Amino acid sequence: MTLIPEEINEVYEELKTEITWLHARWIIYRQLFAESDKRVDLLNECASVFFYIIQDVLLEEVLVSLCKLTDPARSRRFENLSLKQLQSRLGAHGDQKLAARTRSILDELHSKCEPFRVWRNKQLTHLDLTTAMKSSPDPLPGISRQMIEEALGLVRKYMNQIEGHYRNSEIGYEHFIMRSDGEALVAMLRYGLRYEELLKDRTISFDDWHHGEWYDA
């Protein structure tokens, strides 16, 4: 095992945290909105407008995060925490064979993220007038879950090239485990819907919820 040069490691560790939580948001998105049609029906039954907003917010956050990760190393006078910043440090301070491998992965990732970048620039962080008024001759490109999965796969591949080279290990970002995740929320929603069924069947009294710990929350 070889120590990661400090000039590389300080950026690598920060990016590792960002990428871990990016995967957490995508995992929760998939748990809520990509598990099954029945699950989407459950969410709509409980709070359709709320979950419509949450779906948009999570998806847009993932797209913007992927764009930030593939931003240039520097924007005008300011340096960015991005994979290109890390790549520049790999080239300057790291193993050149490693830098060549990661550069090709980063080039592919940048290409995969181009549709996301169009969304960011025209809709998510700016409101392009013709796009907003649906009069643009160039409509926004379609975005699919598969496109996002492929981009995240390349992010993992890039980071694990570095992890494998210096630490002879691999990080399973896509297997990030959270106790309080989308599955925990869905479980509570199931209980709530079952409570409504019991009320309709008059199995429990209408004001039974007053006896619970959280009745005044």
DSSP line for 153-169? HHHHHHHHHHHHHHHS-
pLDDT for the residue numbered 33? 98
Q: At what angle do helices 182-200 and 37-69 cross, to 10 degrees?
A: 160
Contact between 32 and 55 under an 8 Å Cβ cutoff? The reply is yes
Whole-number Å distance between alpha carbons of 10 and 3: 12
Domain spans in the chain, listed from the N-terminal domain onward: 6-174, 179-217
pLDDT for the residue numbered 152? 98
pTM metric for this prediction: 0.92
> CA nearest 174: which of 193, 201, 150?
150
Whole-number Å distance between alpha carbons of 82 and 80: 6
Predicted confidence (pLDDT) at residue 138 exceeds the cutoff of 90: no
Predicted confidence (pLDDT) at residue 1 exceeds the cutoff of 90: no
E strand or H helix at 75: strand 74-75
pLDDT in tens, 180-217: 999 999 999 999 999 999 999 999 888 888 888 988 89
pLDDT in tens, 70-90: 999 999 899 999 999 999 999
Mean pLDDT calculated for residue range 166-182: 96
Mean pLDDT calculated for residue range 12-27: 98
Mean pLDDT calculated for residue range 52-75: 97
pLDDT for the residue numbered 44? 98
Whole-number Å distance between alpha carbons of 49 and 136: 28
Whole-number Å distance between alpha carbons of 64 and 155: 14
pLDDT for the residue numbered 143? 97
pLDDT for the residue numbered 209? 81
Contact between 163 and 169 under an 8 Å Cβ cutoff? The reply is yes
Dihedral class, residue 134 (left if φ above 0, else alpha if ψ from -120 to 50, else beta)? left
Predicted confidence (pLDDT) at residue 170 exceeds the cutoff of 80: yes
Q: Which residues pair with 79 in a beta bridge?
A: 74
Secondary structure of residue 78 in the 3-state scheme:
strand
**Contact partners, residue 150, CB within 8 Å, separation at least 6:** 112
Mean pLDDT calculated for residue range 1-19: 95
User: Where does the pLDDT of residue 157 fall: very low under 50, low under 70, confident under 90, or very high at 90 and above?
Assistant: very high
pLDDT for the residue numbered 135? 87
